[in-house]
Every structure is written in structure tokens, then in C-alpha cells.
Amino acid sequence: MPRIKLEMPEKFPFACSLSVRIGDINYGGHLGNDAVLSFFHEARLQYLASIGCSELDAFGTGLIMADTAVNYMHEGFHGDKLKVEVAPGEITSRGFALFYRISCLRDSESVVIAQGRTGMLCFDYTTRKVASLPAALKQRLEHETPDPA
């Protein structure tokens, strides 16, 4: 079965630390796939705050997740201290991509547990319709977007 291939950026301009809680563990004894999406969500909220906005007010518009892709690479375990990195990607007239990398230290080496991408659309929660990307949001995303390799 072919796996989803993500073209990950080389540089991630934002990182935060999160810990694996007992509720993040599934019946297999490791980090559950739903918890990975929750870690992406928390990192996204912190990233957006760092550029001066939120999912409900991104310089005059709301944001809604349109799609996601995740590659699981190693197991995560209860108590792991995670580094969750975020990088903006391609920007369109109505949205943008965010890339994520979750890693932790194991035996003094950084191990990537998962990496992923979410497609974010600008969304007017009053009219329940897709909206245009505000110029201020585009400027902040472009400022924070790593240079292509």
C-alpha cells in the first residue's frame, strides 16, 4: 500500500512543548492518532497567537480546517515531552497550509513521532461560508514562511 508523502519544509519558525497525557494513550499502549490531531490543534492555536490572531479572529475572518494528512513514524508514550513545530506553507486567496512535526528525545536523540499538514480555509462563521484571506493574515504568514529549499 502506498503511503501519503508529505513534502515537509526544512525550517519550522515556531515550536512549543507539550506532554503526552494518560488520556492520549490508546489501547495499544501508545499515543493515539486522535491525540496527534489534538497536538496539531494546540500547536496551531499557539502558533496563531504568536502571529497575533486566533482561529475565530484571524485578522477579521475565522479559520476552519478543510483537510489533514498525517504520517506516523514512531510511537509516543505516556509522559513523553514533545516538541511540536509549526510552519506555514502554500498560501491561496482563501486559505493556507500549515505543516507540523512532533518529536521527542529518546536516548539523547531526537525522534520524529509524526508529521502532518492541515489545509486551513478562511471562514465566516456568521454566514457559514468560505471567505477571502485577509491581507494582514497573508502578510503575517508570508513573514513566517520559511524560504523554499
pLDDT in tens, 56-67: 999 999 999 999
Query: Tell me: the pLDDT tens digits for 74-101?
Result: 999 999 999 999 999 999 999 999 999 9
pTM of the model: 0.94
Boundaries of every domain in the chain = 14-144
Residue type, 134: P
The CATH classification number of 14-144 equals 3.10.129.10
CA–CA distance, 79 with 21 (Å, rounded to integer): 6
Report yes or no: 95 and 121 within 8 Å, Cβ to Cβ: yes
